[in-house]
Amino acid sequence: MTAAVGLNLGILSPTLFAVMVLMALATTMMTGPAVRWLLRPGGV
């Protein structure tokens, strides 16, 4: 993971690293439902 490199080099704080990981997980989990909603019959 790219963010881990930043953490290891001291560029990212542990708090910022945790926020980035949580955002990656949240957006990944939202993708499926969002795509189904966008592609539903009738469009957006």
As averages over each run of 10 residues, the pLDDT of the chain (44 residues) reads 86 94 96 94 76
pLDDT at 42: 78
Measuring CA to CA, how many Å separate 15 from each of 23, 29, 30? 12, 21, 23
What is the model's pTM?
0.72
Whether 32 maps to a domain, the answer reads yes
Whether 19 maps to a domain, the answer reads yes
Range of the domain at 10: 2-38
Whether 44 maps to a domain, the answer reads no
pLDDT at 43: 65
Whether 43 maps to a domain, the answer reads no
pLDDT at 36: 94
Alpha-carbon span 38 to 44, nearest angstrom: 6
Question: What domain count does the chain have?
Answer: 1
